[in-house]
Amino acid sequence: MGCSLASSLVDLKKELKRSHDPDFLFIEPSEMVVTQELRDVTAMGLRDIRYDIGPFITLVDGPLFEFLWSERRALLLGQVKNADLVAVSRADSIDVGELNKVQQALAGYCSKVIPLSVRSGDGLAEVVKRVCGEV
Amino acid sequence: MRVVSVSGARGSGKTSLIRELTARLSSKGKSAAVIVNEQGDVAYDQNFIQAHDLQVRTIRGG
């Protein structure tokens, strides 16, 4: 994320805080942004406005994991490392063996990997707790 | 205001998760806003935005 993008993100954050002050502000970056970069940028702005930070959630596409692991591993790990929660998304589309493979592959890079499916609802309760700061 | 980030590859379900979280938080009386990269903003349609009083901002290139 370049300086101008980081600056734009900080400006938008300030504008939303001042105009609406929502309880929650979600940031959905492009697929090329890694978590540490996002952490650094998210902390910018604290000089001017007050807000709480976290969690940083990384979604790992379950059905696409093999491709991501073989072709885009550096980017994938950049998003997994330093995340507060890593969730294997579309987990209802892969079998238990595949899910175990993903969890084992990522185990050394993050503290916890949970299965998630917005469609079936699996894992959503834990994500909501994290988002609300209850974990 | 609590800033929450949802990262991942394109198609990994970032928007779906944020929509779901927004809907759940909205049902509890909590307000939400989203800063989204330009590839994801189309998924926040006007009906959804109005139903949940969601503020959406787009960041170009980010």
A126 & A62 share domain = yes
The domain total for chain A is 2
A27 touches B35 (CB < 8 A): yes
pLDDT band at A54 (very low <50, low <70, confident <90, very high): confident
Q: Answer yes or no: do A66 and A118 share one domain.
A: yes
> Which pLDDT value is given to residue A112?
85
Does A30 score more than 70 pLDDT?
yes
**A90/B12 Cα distance (integer angstroms):** 8
How confident is the model over A72-125, as pLDDT tens digits?
Answer: 999 999 999 999 999 999 999 999 999 999 999 999 999 889 999 999 999 999
CB contact under 8 A, A79 and B7: yes
ipTM: 0.93
Contact B23, B31 (CB under 8 A): no
Q: Do residues A70 and A134 both lie within one domain? A: yes
Q: How far apart are CA B60 and CA A128, in angstroms?
A: 28
**Between A87 and A10, where is the model more confident?**
A87
Same domain, residue pair A89 and A101: yes
CB atoms within 10 A of CB B31: 18
> Cβ of A128 and B24 within 8 Å?
yes
A73 and A8, same domain (yes or no): no
HSE value, Cβ hemisphere, 13 Å, CA-based, for A65: 25
Chain A residue with minimum CA distance to B16: A118
Q: Which stretches of chain B score pLDDT less than 50? A: none
- Are both A71 and A9 inside the same structural domain? no
* Same domain, yes or no: A114 and A49: no
- What's the pLDDT score for residue A110? 92
pLDDT band at A130 (very low <50, low <70, confident <90, very high): very high
Query: How far B19 CA sits from the closest chain A CA (Å)?
Result: 10
Characterize the bridge pairing of strands B2-8 and B32-37.
Answer: unpaired
Q: Where does the pLDDT of residue A2 fall: very low under 50, low under 70, confident under 90, or very high at 90 and above?
A: low
Mean of the pLDDT values across residues A38-56? 92
Of the pLDDT bands very low, low, confident and very high (cuts 50, 70, 90), residue A135 is: confident
Q: What range defines the domain where residue A38 resides?
A: 1-53
Question: Is A133 within 8 Å of chain B by CB?
Answer: yes
Integer Cα distance of A121 and A116 in angstroms: 7
Instruction: Give the per-residue pLDDT at B41.
Output: 58
CA angle A28, B30, A84 (to 5 degrees): 45
Best probe of the B interface among A13, A28, A60, by most B CBs < 10 A, is: A28
Q: Shortest CB distance from A26 goes to which of B6, B16, B24?
A: B6
Comparison of pLDDT for B54 and A135, the residue scoring more: B54
Query: Domain containing A93 — which CATH number?
Result: 3.40.50.300
Three state DSSP letters for chain B: CEEEEEEECCCCCHHHHHHHHHHHHHHCCCCEEEEEECCCHHHCCHHHHHHCCCEEEEECCC
Whether A47 and A71 share a structural domain:
no
- Judge if A78 and A28 occupy the same domain: no
Q: Within this chain, do residues A67 and A126 fall inside the same structural domain, yes or no? A: yes
- Buried b or exposed e, range A87-112, using 16+ CB within 10 angstroms: bbbbbbebeeebbebbbebbeebbee
Closest residue on chain B to A7 (Cα): B59
Q: Report pLDDT for B59.
A: 87
Residues A116 and A85 both lie in one domain: yes
Contact by Cβ (8 Å): B36, B57: yes
pTM: 0.94
| A1 and A34 inside one domain | yes
What's the CA gap between A2 and A13, in Å, rounded? 17
The radius of gyration of chain B from alpha carbons, rounded to an integer in Å, stands at 11
